[in-house]
């Protein structure tokens, strides 16, 4: 079932501030759960001005978090094989091949692993579907996810299963 915005949980507004030594800290605020994203931008502007009057640190950015949850009618029981410590590490790259972005998906399906290796073939149908959703987004090419620098992600560079709870050989 699709996730829906949960208006029972307030929005969270967080400001990131940096001092003259490059150390970062943050200040956070809960906002009314009924406001729109446009209204949240008004809060950002007002609180940025107010914080600047109190702090001599540089205000780097503000982040507004909207919460989406499954509806009460959604029922899914994770199988015994699920293990969130295992991750599918997917690395995307931009068109230049210079900027990369990594994402980790918890509890990857065992069917993704081939021939007993931790590598997932880029030709895997589920991985291709994920790549398309990230690279193109729901609005089509050029409207998908980007690097931190704003460069469009264009393809998956690689995908590997990580076993965080596996003991390392000595």
Averaged in consecutive runs of 10 residues, what is the pLDDT profile of the chain (170 residues)? 84 93 93 85 92 93 91 86 90 88 90 82 91 84 79 89 61
d(CA 109, CA 167): 21
Whether residue 159 contacts residue 91, with contact meaning beta carbons closer than 8 Å, is answered with: yes
> Is the pTM here over 0.75, yes or no?
no
Type and span of the H or E element at 125: helix 125-135
């Amino acid at each position: 079932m699709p996730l829906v915005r949960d208006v029972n949980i307030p929005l969270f507004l967080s400001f990131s501030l940096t001092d003259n030594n490059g150390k970062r800290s943050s200040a956070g605020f809960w906002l009314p759960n009924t406001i729109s994203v446009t209204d949240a931008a008004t809060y950002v502007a007002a609180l940025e001005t107010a914080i600047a009057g109190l702090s001599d640190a540089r205000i780097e950015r503000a982040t507004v978090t909207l919460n989406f949850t499954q509806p009460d009618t959604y029922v899914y029981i994770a199988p015994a094989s699920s293990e969130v410590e295992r991750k599918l590490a997917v690395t995307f790259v931009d068109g230049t091949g210079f900027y990369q972005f990594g994402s980790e998906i918890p509890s990857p399906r065992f069917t993704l692993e081939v021939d007993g290796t931790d590598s997932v073939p880029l030709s895997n149908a589920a991985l291709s579907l994920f790549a398309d959703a990230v690279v193109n987004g729901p609005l089509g090419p050029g409207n998908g996810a980007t690097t931190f620098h704003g460069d469009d992600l264009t393809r998956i560079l690689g995908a590997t299963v990580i076993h965080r709870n596996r003991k390392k050989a000595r």
